[in-house]
Amino acid sequence: MIQKARTDRSLSEGESRSLISAAADAMQCDGKSVLVIVPDHTRTCPLPLLARAFHDALTGRAGRLDFLVALGTHPPLGDEQMGRLFGVEPGKWAEVFGGSRVFNHDWQDKQALRHVGTLTKGQVEEITGGLFRMAVDVNVNARIFDYDVLLICGPVFPHEVVGFSGGNKYFFPGICGPELLNFFHWLGAVITNPKIIGSKHNPVRATVDRAAAMLKLEKYALCLVVTHDGLAGLYFDTPENAWSAAADLSSQLHVVYTDRPYESVLAQAPEMYDDIWTAGKCMYKMECVVADGGELIIYAPHVTEISYTHGKIIDQVGYHTRDYFLSQWDKFRQYPWGVLAHSTHVRGIGVFEDGREKCRVRVTLATGIPESRCRKVNLGYRDPASMDASEWRGREAEGRLYVPRAGETLYRLKEPPDWQKP
């Protein structure tokens, strides 16, 4: 493994470029075509630096160097958005990246996908510990088979579905079709976010890695650990090994342990989250430190939409606990399981007894989404103009917590209750 990591300061551009140059040497891709799979704008990542460094390191060596944005089910990026993602001014792409091309993934375009295998009923039963017994098709963006070498390049953070993001997650769900995507998101929801998030080894990560083994291609990963101050770590190796090392550092830098839960949490979503589909991470990362009966407020005045991709479906099903869906499974099983999973992750832990849903915490939106729509999808509402962060800032001893850039740092209790333990 090629690695650089610091906990006392951020890595410099020179240190980052040195590691990327060494990674380029290790890939031995002279004359080969290389596809770099990268995150979209909803992840904190110094992609402009990394993409340029790889382009500089491989120009004149690789026969071809292109980029594929691992969108999952996020909307495709237009030219202006793509330019911002890579830090390129309009009309300057060729000047910066020469003949390299960049592509969006489209999870709904069946013609753009290739079937690479099937997880059998027996394999699924084994991986999930008996939670599921069903066959699941594995389809992936067909473009990857036009290249000799695949390189994943992206950050690792605690994640509500797979424990820690990154690694083979850039294949699944990053550039895959809906079947596997919907299955393992619902698997994570059934296990529940508090038990999965921040856990390296779990059935969902095992599912993703088993599917990635079906990709008989030369694969590498540059996994990053990013803080608000900059790059803390870079790890280059196989996707599994690089991810594992990065997850270990992420568990040190991206997890905050508190002595107590809070009655009221104000989680402010950064601008990179442009709908609740992504800003829901504020709840995912904070759920474990909200007291029973407390309130989690997602504060994002800039957000005006539930989900640009799945909003119509969420309007139909609303936000509910896992048990609400499981207790009425015949009614909801026809909906995309990935959407149901998102619903449970935002709504959090709860029960459904005697036809009544009892949620552990209140989840409130202080966004640009109208009150009527918030109520329709079973979430609370506050006028964002009425919010004052000073009412939460510095009042932890009173049971109030303000998190100014929520969504990537996980908050956990030092002594968690059983429902939070993996």
Which residues make Cβ contacts (< 8 Å) with residue 161, sequence separation at least 6? 184, 185, 188, 189, 196, 204, 341, 345
Cis bond before residue 384 (omega within 30° of 0): no
Whole-number pLDDT of residue 4 = 85
Summarize pLDDT for 169-227 with one digit per residue, the tens. Answer: 999 999 999 999 999 999 999 999 999 999 999 999 999 999 999 999 999 999 999 99
State whether residue 257 is helix, strand or coil: strand
Pick out the chain residues at pLDDT < 50. Answer: none
What is the residue whose two structure tokens read 């997880």?
119
Nearest to 232 by CA among 43, 46, 25: 46
Environment class of 91 (CB within 10 Å of its CB; exposed 0-12, middle 13-18, buried 19+): exposed
Residue 147 CA neighbour count, 13 Å, CB half: 24
Give rounded-to-5 percent helix, strand, coil for the chain: 40, 25, 35
DSSP E strands: which ranges in 142-289? 149-155, 158-159, 163-164, 218-227, 230-237, 255-258, 262-268
AA letter at 54? F
Whole-number pLDDT of residue 9 = 84
Distance separating alpha carbons of residues 104 and 319, to the nearest angstrom: 29
In DSSP notation, 51-92 reads HHHHHHHHTTTSSEEEEEE--TTSPPP-HHHHHHHHT--TT-
Nearest to 231 by CA among 1, 3, 2: 3
Angle between helices 13-27 and 47-58 (to 10 degrees): 50
Whole-model pTM?
A: 0.95
Whole-number pLDDT of residue 228 = 86
Whole-number pLDDT of residue 7 = 75
State whether residue 125 is helix, strand or coil: helix
What one-character DSSP code corresponds to residue 307? -
Distance separating alpha carbons of residues 366 and 381, to the nearest angstrom: 6
Whole-number pLDDT of residue 300 = 98
Task: Set out the domains of the chain in order of their start, with CATH numbers.
Answer: 2-253 (3.40.50.11440), 256-420 (3.90.226.30)
Q: Give CA separation, 135 vs 189, 225, 312, in Å.
A: 19, 35, 28
**CB-based contact 152:222 (threshold 8 Å):** yes
**CB-based contact 280:345 (threshold 8 Å):** yes
Nearest to 98 by CA among 156, 54, 162, 49: 54
**226 beta partners:** 231
**CB-based contact 41:80 (threshold 8 Å):** no
**CB-based contact 197:422 (threshold 8 Å):** no
Which residues make Cβ contacts (< 8 Å) with residue 214, sequence separation at least 6? 116, 117, 138
b/e 139-156 (16+ beta carbons within 10 angstroms → b):
bbbebbeebbbbbbbbbb
Nearest to 376 by CA among 332, 320, 325, 322: 320
Q: Give CA separation, 399 vs 46, 88, 260, 346, 405, in Å.
A: 35, 44, 8, 21, 19
* Other residues' Cβ atoms within 10 Å of the Cβ of residue 229: 9
Distance separating alpha carbons of residues 162 and 211, to the nearest angstrom: 14
